[in-house]
Structures are given as C-alpha cells and as structure tokens.
Amino acid sequence: MLKRTLMGLLRSHELTGDKAKDPLLKSHYYKLSKDKAWEEVVSTLKKMQGYKVLHEVQSVGEIVLEKRTVTGRTMDITVSVIAVNPVTSAVDIYSASRGSFGDLGSNYRIILDIYRTLDKKLSAYKTSGA
C-alpha cells in the first residue's frame, strides 16, 4: 500500500484490465450474460454509499460515477460491463481524480472497494476468466 501511495504522488488515475501488473487490478469475470450483468452492476452501484451515478449507457455498457473525497476532491469513475461471450461478462473500472497533483493512491482504493462490493453481490457468478 505504501508503494501505491508513493506512485499516487504523481499519478491521478488508475485502471483495470487483463494485462494489469497488479493482480488486484485484473478484470473481474462473471458467468452472466451482458444484460444480466449490467442489471446487477447498475443496481449494486446505485446502492453504494458515497457514490453518485451520473450517467449510464447500456448499449455500450458504461456507467459513470462520481465520488467526493473527505479532502473535497472529486473522482470520476467509469465502470464498463463487457460481453466476453454469450454467458460471460467482464467488468473493468477506470478512476481519475480531477485537478492537478497525484491522488495518493485513492483511485486504487476506490477500484478495490467497487470490486469488493461487486464480488460480494455476484459471488455465485464469479469466474477466473473467459
């Protein structure tokens, strides 16, 4: 976590994906069709404390959230629901801080928080990959 804080002095964004070096930032896969995964993810995100859903576009599978930190900074978060095949979907997250300077690792922590919540809600459908 110290490494993330030090990296956060310079970086003000974080994203997940299949090729992420950090295993905690790898894409999360669920054995659900894209439509079913979309419904579950949107309903879960709307219930999360401190996050505000600004925009959702089901056709492209993106949900845009906003989170305000205790220090008054605003984080913009994009959650993508991607159909891998007819029965499997992936969820990726991009989080960025508004303003200059780094985020001290808060984008990293936000991504882990969202994944933890989604994994808890969708634990029955979690899978290791496509």
Question: Is the per-residue pLDDT at 8 higher than 60?
Answer: no
Question: Is the per-residue pLDDT at 1 higher than 60?
Answer: no
Question: Is the per-residue pLDDT at 22 higher than 70?
Answer: yes
* Mean pLDDT of all residues in 92-114: 87
pTM over 0.95: no
CATH of 1-127, one of 3.40.50.300, 3.90.120.10, 2.30.29.30, 3.30.310.220: 3.30.310.220
How would you class 70 by CB atoms within 10 Å of its CB: exposed for 0-12, middle for 13-18, buried for 19 or more?
exposed
* Mean pLDDT of all residues in 78-93: 96
For the chain, domain boundaries: 1-127
